[in-house]
Amino acid sequence: MIIRFVLRYLIGLCLGCAIVPALAQERRGLGEHPLVKRFISPEKDSTRSAGFIVVPALGYAQETGLEFGLAGVYNFYVNKADHAIRTSNLTFIGTFTTERQTNLKLESDIWTTDNLYHYTSELRFRNFPFNFYGLGNQTLEQNQDVLTQRMVRIRLEGERKLAPNYYAGLNLAYEHLTFFDKEEDGIFDRTPPYGQTGGQHLLIGVSQLFDTRNRNTYTTKGYYARAKYAYSPGIGGGHHFKGSTVDIDLRAFFPLTNQLTLGLNSHFETTLGPRVPFYVYRELGGDMMMRGYYLGRYRDRSLLAAQGELRYRFHPRVGVAAFAGTGSTYHDGLKNARFIPSYGGGLRYFFDLEHNSSVRLEYGVGEQRPGEKRQGGFYLSLSEAF
């Protein structure tokens, strides 16, 4: 599924970033057309204008059939006259399949004048299959069970600057999930997890942020530390989630040369409470942390992971990166943790120099368990991992 994800967006990236400049060259000559300058020129646009890229999505998998759609990101300044303001962005992903499956997501990250307020949001509807391997950090590839998840998510977060580089805020999230097993006598049926049929929950919380990054897109210097706590009162009773979540995200960036940056990142995530269904467990893997593992390959109540990344931007439009990290899901303390490796590298294409926004193509490598092939996969994403 990781490879399928890359193929569908890679096709779109070629269409969106290669064909457009080629067509422009026919009409006006390379380097003269505004679209060519925006996507190829090493010079930054002096007008501080917004940046926008859209790529078609196209792919095929047995469980979905033909998949098609769009993915895009829009970068802008809320106040162009404020030269210290950070980049705001809107990100959209929408795909559909011939098996009547849907994946829609709209995210926003907004910074106001003087970076006084910071708002983030997510609206998501998902009716899509995913692989379930069981719970814990010892799950086996042979137990892969294809489930369909139907999810509605609404997430709203807002923070205000209270002192230089320090923010505090509130967050609110609602999720409603339902699961359907596509295979009989799989691990999802043989050892049913708590909350097997799904449920809903409302999370209300607070956050604290210390942020000295020189920019919030392609960071080359500074520190970022964010802690978030949220509580779910267990609306509806039954197996609906009742408890708390804690999330801590730490980042540090060190410029080694004008072109070379070392980035460090660590995550701690945990879920506590008397009713904790499996769908609020923490998942290891994906394209942000512990690359090389399918998201949800290992899942448990807590997750601890760390990674380092060397980024070399040898041209205003092009760069490379190498990363390595380790992490584990666990429960009942770190005595049950099993830290596993993650490493790899890839390319960067900066489609928007004003906002330092990139498309990254990477390959991540994970562990090789006895009797299984080594875990790994390609990723294509419209932003940096951290």
| Token digits of residue 23 | 């067509």
Determine how many CB atoms are found less than 10 A away from the CB of residue 17.
16
Q: Report the amino acid identity of residue 336.
A: N
Number of CB atoms found within 10 A of residue 12's CB:
23
3-class secondary-structure state, position 178: strand
Dist. CA 242–CA 228, nearest whole Å: 17
Residue 42 has a pLDDT of 80
Q: What pLDDT score does 196 carry? A: 95
| C-alpha angle 316-317-323 in degrees, rounded to nearest 5 | 95
pLDDT for the residue numbered 57: 85
SS3 state at 272: strand
> What is the per-residue pLDDT for 18?
40
Confidence (pLDDT) at 190: 92
Q: Kindly indicate whether the domain formed by 2-381 is annotated with CATH number 2.60.40.2140.
A: no
User: Rounded CA gap, 41 and 256, in Å?
Assistant: 26
Are the CB atoms for 255 and 220 separated by under 8 Å?
yes
Cα separations (Å) of 242 from 152, 198, 331? 18, 13, 17
Q: CA-CA distances (angstroms) from residue 121 to 36, 75, 182? A: 32, 15, 32
pLDDT at position 36 is 64
Residues 6+ away with beta carbon under 8 Å from 246: 227, 228, 229, 268, 269, 270, 272
What's the pLDDT score for residue 11? 43
- What is the reported pLDDT for 299? 98
> What is the largest distance, in Å, between two alpha-carbon atoms of the chain?
66
Is residue 53 within 8 Å of residue 72, measured between CB atoms?
Answer: yes
Euclidean distance between CA atoms 382 and 357, whole angstroms: 8
Q: Could you list the pLDDT tens digit for every one of the 386 residues in the chain?
A: 444 444 444 444 444 444 333 333 444 455 566 666 666 878 777 789 999 999 888 888 878 889 999 999 999 999 999 999 999 999 999 999 999 999 999 999 999 999 999 999 999 999 999 999 999 999 999 999 999 999 999 999 999 999 999 999 999 999 999 999 978 889 999 999 999 999 999 999 999 999 999 999 999 999 999 999 999 999 888 889 999 999 999 999 999 999 999 999 999 999 999 999 999 999 999 999 999 999 999 999 999 999 999 999 999 999 999 999 999 999 988 999 999 999 999 999 999 999 999 999 999 999 999 999 999 999 999 899 99
**Could you give the count of Cα atoms lying within 13 Å of 274 in the half-sphere of its Cβ?**
4
Long-range contacts formed by 46-52: CB under 8 A, 24+ apart: 48/77, 48/80, 48/354, 49/354, 50/74, 50/75, 50/76, 50/77, 51/75, 51/76, 51/351, 51/352, 51/354, 51/355, 51/357
Pairwise CA distance, residues 135 & 296, whole Å: 9
